[in-house]
Amino acid sequence: MRKILIALLSMAIVALALWVVPNVTLDTNALMEAIKNGKHLI
């Protein structure tokens, strides 16, 4: 029973990581674009 719980937990962590990583990379790209645009405005 405990192994099943550990497996589910690890799967949840992996799924969360797979969901978070692309969002974080998109955010950094958006931030870089915003910074570039901000520099042009200044």
Question: What's residue 14's pLDDT?
Answer: 94
Question: What's residue 40's pLDDT?
Answer: 78
Gap between the Cα atoms of 25 and 30, Å rounded: 9
Question: What's residue 23's pLDDT?
Answer: 80
Give how many domains the chain has, as a whole number: 1
Question: What's residue 42's pLDDT?
Answer: 62
Q: What is the DSSP track for the chain?
A: -HHHHHHHHHHHHHHHHHHHHHHHHHHHHHHHHHHHHHHHH-
pTM above 0.85, yes or no: no
- State the first-to-last Cα distance of the chain, in angstroms, to the nearest integer: 61
The residue range of the domain holding 29 is: 1-42
pLDDT less than 50: residues of the chain: none
